[in-house]
Amino acid sequence: MSFYASLRKEVLELVRTHRLLVMAVILIFFGLASPLMAKLLPQMMRLIPGGEDFLSLIPTPTIADAFTQYVKNLSLFGLIVAFLMTMGIVAQEKERGTAVLVLVKPLPRAAFLLAKFVALALAFLGCLVLAGLGSYYYTTLLFGAPDFFAWMVLNLMLWLYFLVYVALILLASTIAKSQAAAAGIGIGAVVILGALPSLPGLGKYLPGQLVAWGTALLTDPSARSWPALGISLGLIVACLVAAWIILDRQEI
Amino acid sequence: MAAIRTEQMTKVYGQVRALDGLTLTVEPGTVFGFLGPNGAGKTTTIRLLTGLARPTQGRAWVAGEEIADSGKVAARIGYLPEEPAFYQWMTPIDLLDHVGRLFGLPSQERRSRTTDLLELAGLSQVGKRRIGGFSRGMRQRLGLAQALVNRPEVLFLDEPVSALDPGGRKDILEMIGHLRGQCTVFMSTHILQDVERVCDTVGIIDHGKLVVEAPQAELVDRYTVPAFELECEEGSEPALEELLKALRKLDWVTSAVADPSMGTVARVVVKDLEIARRELLAHIVPQAAALGLILRRYQIVTPSLEDIFLQLVGEATEGSPGAPAEWTAEGVREGTQ
């Protein structure tokens, strides 16, 4: 019961503080802009002084370029949004004292954390659906219709990819006593997780592979990357459980 | 069943013993004033009893539930921190509704409770305004309202008025006074006048240890000095000295001395308060008339809570029994204030 009350408050907070709006604007903007950027790249090059010299080097844009552009933009800006929206989510409440106000009520600490995670997960889901649909529309208009199911799976993979980082940064925010410390720990964790794929043979097991899998599905329906999916889900669960254990032992 | 009971509750932070074997009982329905100087362990006690921190040693029960089971305790208490923090984007209505949801109150009850509590806190007119723009007094009143949403059996108030102006203090103390009999109030403070004003029972803590715990009236009786104070008009000092000399001859008078710093005030310490109550004035009036002494004041010395507090905290600090504040049994000012 108290979980739903807390989830309601988190969703209301995202709306009333305009954070949901900011998230939606960023993701939808890049969702809409990506196929346009892919299509209009040659024209944009013509507008740059001397750009015409490079036109011969740029191949005619295809639907694959639209996918690549979409995945690059969304994974980068989505990650930044995930970081900014999550780093203070627990640390700020501890720092300001609002955590005391609610944790002294019959709200289990696990429910307190899970409500925050679920609210962000729902926010990302909604924004990604809108960004994905917008991008699908423009891609269809400019390049022809991609496989709708594969397109939605790509967005689902992007969503899971963001959730890994949301869970990781939420853990950092739980460990830290202040927002600044949470940001420091979060940046460290993101850098480590981002650098791991450069180790030989490790990349296919890491969350980044989810995005590659989703992109590959658009051209190759038989593409699979189950280990990355399992490890990503495991990471999310592990981060949430660790955050709960840590918060449960903390004196607020 | 006691509303609050602690047994040897201890809290250690590193090398610091914030709370040192606190054993305490608070009766239901009372307003309990938990007094102590800054750093005495008041907030630590409240944090332990509300489940925000865990004791290093010892046990405690709140509303019959052991604090180790913080979920059960949380459902039966209310808590107002010293500086309550709120979600700035919420309105008071949002906040009280959210708290009601956390306690699982049905929507009808949440609505009526929100209306009642906003009225009680004097915030009905600003129920839809963002909390971010509230003054300190308004925030404190809202903090008290949110602590009452679940009709708590035990209400913890940590320094509820220390940061407020006189008007704000009056409002909050009146609200607390109205709670008497409805729930047990455990109020920490270092402002003695507030305790004198609203608390039935007093516990004094210093350096993490409970120095005394008793009903306020009993505490005052316990520390009452069997003494009377006289004050005369200026210029009557020689006549007063004559009167005191005569009083010293009475076998039930221990001492009769003028205040060295204010010659117009004198203290008469007696062996038996009851005899003195009946006979002292009868001795004073004819002699004063004969000496031409104009008396302005005659009263039994009643120690204020501040006197008792300073005496007890002084004892706990120095580890030696101190004299009652201001005066010793010999009637000499100690200068403890």
A108 touches chain B (CB under 8 A): yes
If we measure between CA atoms, which residue out of B126, B135, B156 comes closest to residue B62?
Answer: B156
The closest CB to that of A107, out of B86, B87, B102, belongs to B102
A12 touches chain B (CB under 8 A): yes
Comparing alpha-carbon positions, the chain B residue that sits nearest to A17 is B89
For A84, phi then psi, to 5°, come to -65, -35
B103 touches chain A (CB under 8 A): yes
Give the integer Cα–Cα distance in Å for A41 and A45. 6
pTM of the model: 0.84
Whether the CB-CB separation of A77 and A69 falls below 8 Å is answered with no
- By DSSP bridging, strand B31-35 and strand B57-62 are unpaired
Subunit contact B102:A17, Cβ cutoff 8 A: no
Comparing alpha-carbon positions, the chain A residue that sits nearest to B44 is A251
If we measure between CA atoms, which residue out of B327, B258, B264 comes closest to residue B296?
Answer: B264
Q: pLDDT tens digit string along B101-121?
A: 999 999 999 999 999 999 999
In a 10 Å sphere around its CB, with 0-12 CB exposed, 13-18 middle and 19+ buried, how is residue A67 labelled?
buried
Q: How many other C-beta atoms can be found within 10 angstroms of the C-beta atom of residue A219?
A: 13
Q: pLDDT tens digit string along B184-214?
A: 999 998 888 888 889 999 999 999 999 999 9
Q: Does position B11 have pLDDT exceeding 50, yes or no?
A: yes
- What distances in angstroms separate CA A95 from CA A169, A182, A247, B304, one per listed residue? 17, 11, 14, 39
**B9: helix, strand or coil:** strand
pLDDT by residue, tens only, chain A of 252 residues:
799 999 999 999 999 999 999 999 999 999 999 999 998 887 877 777 777 777 777 788 888 889 899 999 999 999 999 999 999 999 999 999 999 999 999 999 999 999 999 999 999 999 999 999 999 999 999 999 888 988 999 999 999 999 999 999 999 999 998 889 999 999 998 899 888 888 888 888 889 899 888 888 887 878 788 889 999 999 999 999 999 999 999 998
Complex ipTM > 0.85: yes
Whether the CB-CB separation of B202 and B33 falls below 8 Å is answered with yes
Contacts of B79 in chain A (CB under 8 A): 100, 104
- Residue of B50, B80, B87 to mutate when probing chain A, most A C-beta within 10 A: B87
Helices (H) and strands (E) in chain A, counts: 10, 0
